[in-house]
Structure 1
Amino acid sequence: MARDTTDNRPIEGIDELVGYMARGSKPKEAWRIGTEHEKFPFYADGNRPVPYEGPRGIRSLLEGMQKLLGWDPIEDGGRIIGLVEPTGQGAISLEPGGQFELSGAALETLHQTCREGNAHLAQLREIAEPLGIRFLGLGASPKWRLSETPRMPKSRYDIMSAYMPKVGSHGLDMMYRTCTIQVNLDFSSETDMRRKMQVSSRLQPLATALFANSPFTDGAPNGYQSWRAEIWRDTDNQRSGLLPFVFSDGFGFVDYVEWALDVPMYFVIREGRYHDCTHVTFRQFMDGALRETVPDGMPTMGDWANHLSTLFPDVRLKRFLEMRGADGGPWRRICALPAFWVGLLYDDEALDAAEEMTKGWSFEEVQGLRDAVPVEGLAARFRNHELREAAREVLTISRMGLKQRALLNREGYDEAEFLNPLDEIVARGTTSAQEMMSAFNTRWGGSIEPVFFEQAY
């Protein structure tokens, strides 16, 4: 999740909020790739969860990483909860259940993205192995019950934990027992934002199927290829899922702002203290609803930036676009997820082709696909064909886009090589989740313990 910010400029009106997002527009030569990936820490001795405190806990892990990297600590109530690179190029943060996240730097190429991921995992192993800690690349926690899962000492998570059971059946599972890989991408204008958000919203269920990697819960099969995707179907539907207005021809920044204004808030921060604001929307906040109950109780631009970070649609709009549909996975998929979207959205011809392919897909059709994918994966039916067929066509477009970027590494390979893991999935017709279920029913002998070896970093 995003690091909370402070920006004390007062908000004068809605136009300011729209302008804030519009100012994210960048010329094509300034477009960058920001990749985020989460993983579950566990003790190799017994495949047990790692608590925050203790000589071999997550606090010690963060302190070790701080010494190794020289990054600045992020603290909450005097406790270290993350690290940030001194110039703002990257951060390490904790998700509610101890999931360890790298929010990568804004990079120019996928080659750089993969080198960044490699370096991070190598640095993490250097600190974690003496502590007996390893990391699991899955979309959902496969073994530990919610009651066994540690809780990190972050104030915003206390507010969310109290609020989530009021607005959905899976909010705590989402917070404490899921991991994702996502990529943050730029746009050049409102029109470019619209095209990219519409294409990526229509294709998000397909990405979910390609990256489906969470078939176990509480130590047993859960009946899903992506339990993580199922969790998001009933987490907090006021702020999650597909957004129908994104599918309209005239969609723009103002539509997203108007939607965001009417979503309940989580908190505001004043003098380092988090105030629970789940009883009001941001629009009510702007109308003075917190004037009497919160110090300096009128909204600032920092409040708006934090509010945007607490909205969870399948594609999130801030000053860039965030692709949020994929399960966490092994190293190769940390590179494959940004490659998939960069190939589709950062080349003009590829974006044209993806838009042409998907332009007739209605919200209702995509929502139906989104509902089917957690169970059916690439076998889900879309317009009388398996989703696997659409996946083959989309990967062809993405590969074309990456090849046309023509950005080579030192060995002379372009970025299209990072799509190979996804091509393999489509060629064999089975997702990672299905492969794990096959192993569970055969060579794993009905035990999930081998997942902690085979899916570990």
Structure 2
Amino acid sequence: MARDTVDSTPIENIADLSATLEEGNKPAEKFLIGTEHEKFGFHLSDLSPIPYEGSNGVEAVLTGMENLLGWDRIEDNGNIIGLADSVGGGAISIEPGGQFELSGAPLQTLHETCRETNAHLAQVRKVADPLGIGFLGSGMTPTWRREDVPQMPKSRYDIMRRYMPKVGSYGLDMMHRTSTIQVNLDFSSEADMVKKMRVGLALQPIATAIFANSPFSDGKVNGFKSFRAHIWNDLDADRTGNLPFAFEDGFGFESYVEWALDVPMYFVKRGDTYFDVTGTTFRQFMNGALQGTVPDALPTIGDWNNHLSTLFPDVRLKTFIEMRGADGGPWRRICALPAFWVGLLYDDGILDQAWQLVRDWTTEERMALRNEVPMSALQTSFRQGTVLDIAKEALALSKEGLRRRNRLSDGDLDEQVHLAPIEEGLAAGMCPADVLLQRYNGNWNGDIAQIFKDYAY
């Protein structure tokens, strides 16, 4: 998660808000790839979650990374909560339950993304190993209860913790017990954005199925392949979902702005202080609703950008597009997720074919996929086949898209190599959760704690 912005440029009218999104337009030759991944820190001694404080907690890991990397320190009320690379553009942050996140730098190729990921994980191990800390790649904490997970000292999270239980059943679980891999991608124009948003929204349940990796929670089998994705189905209907309006005629930057304006806000930041304004929409804020409630109560571009960061649809629009449907997982899948989407979206011809694949899906079909995939993943029925069939078609398109990009590694391999984990899974007809359940019922002998050994970074 990026550092909250403090841009004080005043907002004159709604057109200013659309203009902030249009600033993302860039020529295709300048398209970049930004990959984010989260992971759970745990004590190697007893597999318990690490706290924030103490000699072997989150604070110690962040301080160790600061000393190792020399990145800029980010603080909240005197507590270190992240690091920013002012040169390369990457950042390290902590999620509400201590999930340790790398927001990768914008890079040109997937080979660079993989090198960045491998370097980061090696750096984390260098700092964490002497502290007796390991990190797990999984979509959901497999054994910890919600009350077991420590809360990180971050002001915006305190506001979210108070608000989330008012609007859904699973908000606190999402905050403290889930992790993801996502990729941020560019667009060249409003029309290009529209097509990428539509393809991304339609195929997001397919990506969820491919990367489903959370069949355990509270120390038992939970009956889902992606319990993380199930959580998103009952979290906060105002700010989540598949955005059916994105498939309506006339969808564009202005449509997204109009939707975002009517989503309740979490906070307004003034200086270093976060003001709880939950229940007030951004449109109401623009109409003066916070006069007398917060200092300098006229909305700014910084307020708008912060608000956009608190919207959680399956695909999120900023000055880039965020693909948000995948569970966290082992390191190979950190590279595979961006590879899947880059192959589909960064070649115009392949993007057109991907749109042809999904363009006649109805709103009801897309919603059914979103609701059913968390439980049955690749085995989910769709029309005359299954999600596995669609996943294989999407993978074939992605492979061709990466072949056409022809970005070669030092070993003269193109970016298709990063799709290998997906190819292996689809060839076997199994998502990662299927493999976990197979191990659980096999050589793990029903011991879920084995995941901390087999799936730690």
1: CA distance between counterparts of 2:334 and 2:428? 20
1: CA distance between counterparts of 2:423 and 2:246? 29
Q: Which residue of 2 aligns with 1:92?
A: 92
Q: Which residue of 2 aligns with 1:363?
A: 363
Which is further off, 69-78 or 81-90? 81-90
**Alpha carbons of structure 1 residues 315 and 402: separation in structure 2 relative to 1, 3 Å:** same
Cα deviation 1:361-380 (Å, max 9, x = unaligned):
12211110110000010000
Gaps in structure 2 of 5+ consecutive residues: none
Q: Which residue of 2 aligns with 1:215?
A: 215
Q: Which residue of 2 aligns with 1:258?
A: 258
How far does residue 446 in structure 1 lie from its aligned partner after superposition? 1.1
How far does residue 88 in structure 1 lie from its aligned partner after superposition? 5.6
Q: Which residue of 2 aligns with 1:342?
A: 342
What is the number of residues matched between the two proteins?
457
Q: Which residue of 2 aligns with 1:164?
A: 164
2: CA distance between counterparts of 1:146 and 1:425? 31
- 8 Å Cα contact 1:402/1:414 also seen in 2: yes
Q: Which residue of 1 aligns with 2:241?
A: 241
Q: Which residue of 2 aligns with 1:403?
A: 403
Q: Which residue of 2 aligns with 1:59?
A: 59
2: CA distance between counterparts of 1:169 and 1:2? 26
The secondary structure found in structure 2 opposite 1:450 is helix
Amino acid at match of 2:305: A
1: CA distance between counterparts of 2:193 and 2:421? 28
Q: Which residue of 2 aligns with 1:122?
A: 122
The secondary structure found in structure 2 opposite 1:338 is helix
Which is further off, 65-74 or 425-434? 425-434
How far does residue 456 in structure 1 lie from its aligned partner after superposition? 0.5
1: CA distance between counterparts of 2:373 and 2:361? 16
2: CA distance between counterparts of 1:133 and 1:291? 47
Amino acid at match of 1:51: P
Cα deviation 1:168-199 (Å, max 9, x = unaligned):
00000000000000000000000000000001
2: CA distance between counterparts of 1:184 and 1:367? 23
Map 1:153-302 onto structure 2 (within 5 A). Answer: 153-302=153-302
Structure 1 segments, 4+ long, off by >4 Å, are none
How far does residue 430 in structure 1 lie from its aligned partner after superposition? 1.3
- 8 Å Cα contact 1:91/1:102 also seen in 2: yes
How far does residue 445 in structure 1 lie from its aligned partner after superposition? 1.2
Gaps in structure 1 of 5+ consecutive residues: none
1: CA distance between counterparts of 2:152 and 2:136? 18
- 8 Å Cα contact 1:224/1:374 also seen in 2: yes
How far does residue 120 in structure 1 lie from its aligned partner after superposition? 0.2
2: CA distance between counterparts of 1:107 and 1:438? 36
Cα deviation 1:200-241 (Å, max 9, x = unaligned):
110000000000000111111110000000000001111001
Amino acid at match of 2:150: P
Q: Which residue of 2 aligns with 1:425?
A: 425
The secondary structure found in structure 2 opposite 1:449 is helix
- 8 Å Cα contact 2:6/2:271 also seen in 1: no
Amino acid at match of 1:96: P
TM-score scaled by length of structure 1 = 0.99
Q: Which residue of 2 aligns with 1:320?
A: 320
The secondary structure found in structure 1 opposite 2:81 is strand
- 8 Å Cα contact 1:71/1:86 also seen in 2: yes
2: CA distance between counterparts of 1:348 and 1:164? 39
Q: Percent identity?
A: 60
- 8 Å Cα contact 1:247/1:362 also seen in 2: no
- 8 Å Cα contact 1:32/1:186 also seen in 2: yes
1: CA distance between counterparts of 2:56 and 2:167? 35
* Coordinate RMSD, CA, aligned: 0.7
2: CA distance between counterparts of 1:394 and 1:177? 30
